[in-house]
Chains A and B, each alone.
Chain A
Amino acid sequence: MMYFSRLKIALILGVCVLGALLCLPNLMPAPTSWLPWQQVHLGLDLRGGSYLLLEVDMATVVRERLDSIADGARTALRGKVTGYQPPQAQPAQNRVVIRINAGPQQDEAVRLLREAAASAGPAEYDVVTEGNEVSLSLSPTALRDRANAAVLQSIEIVRRRIDETGVLDPVITRQGADRIVVQLPGVEDPNRIKELLGRTARMTFRLLDETANLGAAPPPGVDFLPLEGQPNAKEPVRRRVEVDGASLTDARPGQDNQNGRWVVNFTFDSVGARRFGDVTTANVGRRFAIVLDDKVISAPVIQTAITGGRGQISGNFNARSAQDLAVLLRAGALPAPLTVVEERSVGPELGADSIRNGAIALAVGFLLVIAYMAVFYGLFGWFANVALLVNLVLQIGLLSLLGATLTLPGMAGILLTLGVAVDANILINERVREEVHNGRTPLNALETGFRRAYSTIIDSNATAFLAHVMLFVFGSGPVRGFAVTITVGIVTTLFTATLFARMLTVRWYVATKPALLPV
């Protein structure tokens, strides 16, 4: 207990120096590029910024999958089986139902559907008969895979869209089964980003059915879709998609040469260019519609065949909306709509206030604790105070190493750690004092004091550690920052209050050989 070899002293001091070095990145920029230069990140509550929690609309994912299964079933059965009603998607039960009377026709239908199911990939859906119904139910694994793919794809699209806006260092992460966390440092008003993320941006090029009567019900294969900006005006648009927006390779805002109005210029990839060329060649003089999220942006007449793979969308654009549409088209369509379920944004001014308040509280608290230890514990109190300073340095160093995020509650956590860290020294000092009163020699008292106080120190820190690990697991946002600083602080406290402070005490004892301990 009371012997420290040179090696041990060197190791302890080495840890302290290492801690100080780890703090450096917070004070200055990296001198060279090859050094690991990790620093503590300021949380959004301190530096200002926006936090958005987005939810992927899984109902849409399921519905679209069921629609395509229903389409497949229709194709599989067409012309081969008779006496069935069109497949109906039932999203609530994750299945598609086809009514067909039991008998040889049904058996034949089931055979064809099973064939189609097998070609859709292993275990995508099961074909089950129930009286006069055949149902195709999505298997849970397939459902999970779909959902997973939808979230991953959404994250990719969200990242591309946000990158297009020029926000620096956005952090986009997945949370749970169907959520995406978007952190935007420095963005005080996330409205524009929310607008960009709030659109699926699925664009399609389709032909119009000019014979349709807008007053009557839509004929089969035709939708009456509203025009963008004029919800009451509708266009009869064929359901068949001629060219999909996924075939776009580029989209840029621009101004029309003739009238100076804002337009979006786009370029197709080779497949899209060929398709677009074929369609326009075959339909010169007819109208086609550019549809974005079930709204018609424009429905021009095809003047000539467009074979170069380039085109122009002119709608009711201004500079901003043309820019936004170009961004959306470049980034691609979301697999399903996103909803903002939680939003937290903090302006930089409030963040600066918080940093100032936190720093003042930290400084005052630190001084109070130091004064208390000096007054009530004298020399040993000063040992504890030196250990406390080292503790602060190590804590910041370790937080930097972890690349942890410092939040306002996190600053409170640092201060509490300092208040609690000296508890260990108090326990030790009180114990030493007691042992002196029990008549032990100074060395013996120190030895016994340190040893006996240990189990108490370990027990009390272990329980606090457990509580804060739970907080980290179940907490979110700034509160996690609190849990991180406290748990890191408990680890550094165990080092400084026991090893470091003990080393100081022992070196002092060896140097002075006191007859009485100042306790």
Chain B
Amino acid sequence: MFLRPLFRLVPDDTKIQFMRGRFIGLATSAVLSLLSVGLFFYPGLHLGIDFRGGVVMEVRTPGPADFGKIRSALATAQVPQAGLQRFGGPDQVIIRMDPQGDEKSTQATVARVRGALDEAQPGSRIVRTDAVGAAVSSELFRNGMLALGISLLMILVYIWFRFEWQFAVGAVVTLILDVTKAIGFLCVTRIEFDLVMVAAILTVIGYSTNDKVVVYDRMRENLRKYKTMPLRQLIDLSINETLNRTLGTSMTVFLASLPLALFGGASLSGFALMMLFGIVVGTSSSIFIAAPILLLLGENRLRRDAQAVPVAAGRKA
């Protein structure tokens, strides 16, 4: 019938014992995150112009771009170490230059590239110029990191305030593991790390937190409802009960991000890929990381064992 739902993502009576796989989950996550940290040091992030400084110019040539001609014209104009790269169609070229000594010479470089292009392929149009000085790029980097750090801190404080501390620690440890993997993803794919990417990571953090809140909310509710159920069983029950929510909410965000990756153009595709990666990681970490951490931290605190007096449970309303 039109009015009724046509499908369910998972059946209502799903009873997967997720906590059986807790050590495998934690171990896999730890290994991936360690690898990511390793990748962060070598080969490291591919910093975008925002954070590295320098000049990026996007050029559209009248016919197919003649790389040889452009290269030699740039060399004649004494543009230092210009990197050329095809970008989209055959008439689209990206020219990248490392940061120059100071702001004045950066500006001079921009002017020289304009001249060189006119010579190599008259009629070329520079459709985008980004020139970021060294001082500004380090400020942008610092601010980006501040935004990331303070957001994590605020989320920690918020969850701490709303839940017991075990939940907060579980959430933030999971988020840190998520973020390291996101950085590893950037290192592997060589997607540029710039301000837009910081926005993507922050968004991923925000929605990954959503997921954790959904599962944690249910655990807290069940802690009050089933005062004698062992914590492990209770966590499994909560995850299974909320599985349709966790997967459903992730699906919609995934569906919204997918067209950005497919049709959003080159400047948004990196953002969208990070979103897609982050949704997958964030959803699985809610189940396989955040919950096991809570189990480890809360085993003797949130819930004494099954024989404990009921008073010990559900202290917080």
Interface, chain A (partner B; CB < 8 A): 53, 55, 188-189, 191, 194, 339-347, 349-350, 353-354, 357-358, 360-362, 364-365, 368-369, 372-373, 375-379, 381, 408-409, 412, 415-416, 418-420, 422-423, 426-427, 430, 434, 437, 452, 455-456, 459-464, 466-468, 470-471, 473-479, 482-483, 486, 518-519
* Inter-chain contact B5/A378, CB cutoff 8 Å: yes
Residues of chain B with a CB closer than 8 A to A477's CB: 195
* Inter-chain contact A343/B107, CB cutoff 8 Å: yes
Q: Report the separation of the CA atoms of residues A430 and B12 in the bound assembly, to the nearest whole angstrom.
A: 10
**B192 close to A (CB within 8 Å):** no
Contact of A378 among B3, B136, B144, B150 (CB under 8 A): B3
Q: Report the separation of the CA atoms of residues A468 and B200 in the bound assembly, to the nearest whole angstrom.
A: 10
Q: Nearest-CB distance from A355 to chain B (Å)?
A: 10
* Inter-chain contact A468/B259, CB cutoff 8 Å: no
With A376-B7, A463-B159 as contacts: A360 and B259 at CB distance below 8 Å: yes
Among B4, B221, B244, B248, find the residue whose CB has the most chain A CB atoms closer than 10 A.
Answer: B248
Q: Report the separation of the CA atoms of residues A408 and B249 in the bound assembly, to the nearest whole angstrom.
A: 24
Comparing B69-77, B181-189, B205-213, B231-239, the segment that makes contact with chain A is: B205-213
Contact of B275 among A194, A377, A416 (CB under 8 A): A416
Encode contact with A along B230-262: 1 for CB under 8 Å, 0 otherwise.
000000000001101100110111111111101
7 A/B residue pairs, CB under 8 Å, sorted by A: A343-B132, A344-B130, A347-B128, A353-B265, A354-B267, A452-B221, A475-B143
Residues of chain B with a CB closer than 8 A to A340's CB: 103, 107, 131, 133
Residues of chain A with a CB closer than 8 A to B143's CB: 474-476
* Inter-chain contact A416/B258, CB cutoff 8 Å: no
Residues of chain A with a CB closer than 8 A to B256's CB: 365, 368-369, 415-416, 418-420
Residues of chain B with a CB closer than 8 A to A483's CB: 199
Residues of chain A with a CB closer than 8 A to B306's CB: none
* Inter-chain contact B260/A361, CB cutoff 8 Å: yes
Interface class of chain B by DSSP? helix
* Inter-chain contact B265/A368, CB cutoff 8 Å: no
Interface, chain B (partner A; CB < 8 A): 1-9, 12, 58, 60, 103-104, 107, 110-111, 114, 125-133, 135-136, 140, 143-144, 146-147, 150-151, 154-155, 158-159, 162, 195-196, 198-199, 202-203, 205-207, 209-210, 213-214, 217, 221, 241-242, 244-245, 248-249, 251-260, 262-265, 267-268, 271-272, 275
* Inter-chain contact A423/B203, CB cutoff 8 Å: no
Residues of chain A with a CB closer than 8 A to B265's CB: 353-354, 357-358, 408
Q: Report the separation of the CA atoms of residues A518 and B4 in the bound assembly, to the nearest whole angstrom.
A: 5
Contact of A419 among B5, B103, B255, B262 (CB under 8 A): B255
In this complex, what residue of B is CB-closest to A50? B129
Q: Report the separation of the CA atoms of residues A381 and B251 in the bound assembly, to the nearest whole angstrom.
A: 14
In this complex, what residue of B is CB-closest to A381? B5
Contact of A342 among B132, B158, B203 (CB under 8 A): B132
Q: Report the separation of the CA atoms of residues A466 and B210 in the bound assembly, to the nearest whole angstrom.
A: 12
* Inter-chain contact A419/B147, CB cutoff 8 Å: no
Apart from the given pairs A415-B257, A426-B252, 19 other A-B contacts in the complex at a CB distance below 8 Å = A343-B132, A344-B131, A347-B125, A353-B265, A354-B267, A361-B259, A368-B256, A369-B255, A369-B256, A418-B256, A420-B256, A427-B214, A427-B245, A456-B217, A461-B210, A466-B154, A475-B195, A478-B196, A483-B199
Q: Report the separation of the CA atoms of residues A189 and B275 in the bound assembly, to the nearest whole angstrom.
A: 34
Residues of chain B with a CB closer than 8 A to A377's CB: 5
* Inter-chain contact A468/B202, CB cutoff 8 Å: yes
Among B162, B264, B268, find the residue whose CB has the most chain A CB atoms closer than 10 A.
Answer: B264
Q: Nearest-CB distance from A426 to chain B (Å)?
A: 5
In this complex, what residue of B is CB-closest to A358? B264
* Inter-chain contact B131/A470, CB cutoff 8 Å: no
Q: Report the separation of the CA atoms of residues A473 and B60 in the bound assembly, to the nearest whole angstrom.
A: 35
With A53-B136, A341-B133 as contacts: A368 and B259 at CB distance below 8 Å: yes
In this complex, what residue of B is CB-closest to A424? B249
* Inter-chain contact A361/B264, CB cutoff 8 Å: yes
Residues of chain A with a CB closer than 8 A to B210's CB: 420, 423, 460-461, 463-464
Contact of A475 among B104, B199, B217, B221 (CB under 8 A): B199
Residues of chain B with a CB closer than 8 A to A518's CB: 1, 3-5
Q: Nearest-CB distance from A21 to chain B (Å)?
A: 27
Residues of chain A with a CB closer than 8 A to B7's CB: 375-376
Q: Report the separation of the CA atoms of residues A471 and B140 in the bound assembly, to the nearest whole angstrom.
A: 12
In this complex, what residue of A is CB-closest to B110? A343
* Inter-chain contact B245/A430, CB cutoff 8 Å: yes
